[in-house]
Structure 1
Amino acid sequence: MATSLIQLGTEIRQITLPIIMFFGTLGNSLNIVVLTRPALYNHACSRYFLALACTNLFSASVILTFRLLSDGYRLDVTRTSIILCKTVSFFSQTSAISSSFLTVATSIDRFCASSSSVRLRSFSNVKVSRWVILFVLISIALFHLNTLILTESRSTDTLGCRIRGDTIYKQVYTIIQSLSYAIFAPVLMAIFGTLTIYNTKKTNVTPVAGARYRRTESQLARMLILQVITTILLAAPAGAGNLMAIMANTLSTTVEFFIAYVFCQLLFYASYTTPFIMYIVSASIYRKELIRLFHKISCRRGNGQINRMTNQITPMNL
Structure 2
Amino acid sequence: MLMDIAVQLTRSVLILLIIFGTIGNTLNLFIFTRPKLLRSSCTLYFIAVSIDNILAIYLAVLYRLLIDGFSIDVGSLSPIICKLRAYFGYMALSLSPYLFILACFDRYCSSSPSIIHRSWSNKKIAKRCICGAIALVAILYSHMVIYFETQSNGSNIICYPQQGIYDSFWRIFYLVIYCFFPSMCMSLLCLLIAINIRHYSRQIEPALANVSDLHRRLDRNLIRILFSHYSTQTLCILPFAIVNLLGMFINRNTLIYSFFLRILTLPLFASYTTNFYVNTMSSRIYRRELIKLFSSCKWKLFRDDRNWFVSYVDNLIFLQSQAANNGKDRTTIEDDIPLVVTHPKIIISYQWDYQKDIG
Shift of 1:122: 1.8
Q: In terms of Rg, which structure is larger?
A: 2
Q: Distance in 2 between matches of 1:7 and 1:278?
A: 30
- In the alignment, structure 1 residue 184 sits paired with structure 2 residue 178: no
User: 2:87 touches 2:144 (CA, 8 Å); kept in 1?
Assistant: yes
Amino acid of the structure 2 residue aligned with 1:61: Y
- In the alignment, structure 1 residue 290 sits paired with structure 2 residue 290: yes
Map residues 205-220 of structure 1 onto 2, 5 A cutoff: 210-220=212-222
1:49 to 39, 46, 57: 46
Q: Distance in 1 between matches of 2:267 and 2:305?
A: 42
In the other structure, the counterpart of 1:300 is 300
- In the alignment, structure 1 residue 315 sits paired with structure 2 residue 350: yes
Amino acid of the structure 2 residue aligned with 1:5: L
**Cα separation, partners in 2 of 1:281 and 1:31, compared to 1, 3 Å:** closer
Q: Distance in 2 between matches of 1:286 and 1:192?
A: 24
Could you say what secondary structure the match of 1:161 adopts?
A: strand
User: 2:53 touches 2:272 (CA, 8 Å); kept in 1?
Assistant: yes
Q: Distance in 2 between matches of 1:219 and 1:178?
A: 30
In the other structure, the counterpart of 2:321 is none
Q: Distance in 1 between matches of 2:278 and 2:42?
A: 15
Shift of 1:18: 0.5
RMSD of aligned alpha carbons = 2.2
Question: Structure 1 stretch 301-310 or stretch 213-222: which is displaced more?
Answer: 301-310
Q: Distance in 1 between matches of 2:273 and 2:58?
A: 11
Amino acid of the structure 2 residue aligned with 1:242: N
Shift of 1:173: 4.0
1:233 to 232, 235, 252: 235
Q: Distance in 2 between matches of 1:59 and 1:234?
A: 15
Amino acid of the structure 2 residue aligned with 1:162: Y
Deviations, residues 260-298 of structure 1 (Å, cap 9, x unaligned): 222221101000122112333442221111111111111
Question: Structure 1 stretch 12-21 or stretch 184-193: which is displaced more?
Answer: 184-193
Amino acid of the structure 1 residue aligned with 2:62: T
Could you say what secondary structure the match of 1:160 adopts?
A: strand
Q: Distance in 1 between matches of 2:112 and 2:300?
A: 43
Question: Structure 1 stretch 265-274 or stretch 277-286: which is displaced more?
Answer: 277-286
Structure 1 segments unaligned to the other structure (5+ residues)? none
Q: Distance in 1 between matches of 2:103 and 2:11?
A: 33
**Cα separation, partners in 2 of 1:79 and 1:308, compared to 1, 3 Å:** farther
Map residues 33-182 of structure 1 onto 2, 5 A cutoff: 33-155=30-152, 160-166=158-164, 168-182=165-179
Shift of 1:88: 0.8
Q: Distance in 2 between matches of 1:196 and 1:221?
A: 8
**Cα separation, partners in 2 of 1:75 and 1:253, compared to 1, 3 Å:** closer
Structure scoring higher RCO (CA < 8 A, sep ≥ 6) equals 1
Could you say what secondary structure the match of 1:124 adopts?
A: coil
Question: Structure 1 stretch 211-220 or stretch 15-24: which is displaced more?
Answer: 211-220
Shift of 1:16: 0.7
Flag the structure with higher helix content: 1
Q: Distance in 2 between matches of 1:175 and 1:24?
A: 29
Normalised by the length of structure 1, the TM-score is 0.90
**Cα separation, partners in 2 of 1:169 and 1:80, compared to 1, 3 Å:** closer
For these two proteins, the number of residue pairs brought into alignment is 311
Could you say what secondary structure the match of 2:225 adopts?
A: helix
User: 1:178 touches 1:243 (CA, 8 Å); kept in 2?
Assistant: yes
- In the alignment, structure 1 residue 269 sits paired with structure 2 residue 266: no
Shift of 1:159: 7.0
Amino acid of the structure 1 residue aligned with 2:3: I
User: 1:48 touches 1:106 (CA, 8 Å); kept in 2?
Assistant: yes
User: 2:60 touches 2:93 (CA, 8 Å); kept in 1?
Assistant: no
Deviations, residues 119-172 of structure 1 (Å, cap 9, x unaligned): 222221111111111111111101211111111002365571011232x34532
Deviations, residues 54-107 of structure 1 (Å, cap 9, x unaligned): 000111134322221111100112111211111110111111111111112212
User: 1:182 touches 1:237 (CA, 8 Å); kept in 2?
Assistant: no
Q: Distance in 2 between matches of 1:75 and 1:305?
A: 48
Q: Distance in 2 between matches of 1:181 and 1:191?
A: 16
**Cα separation, partners in 2 of 1:274 and 1:193, compared to 1, 3 Å:** farther
Q: Distance in 2 between matches of 1:249 and 1:145?
A: 27
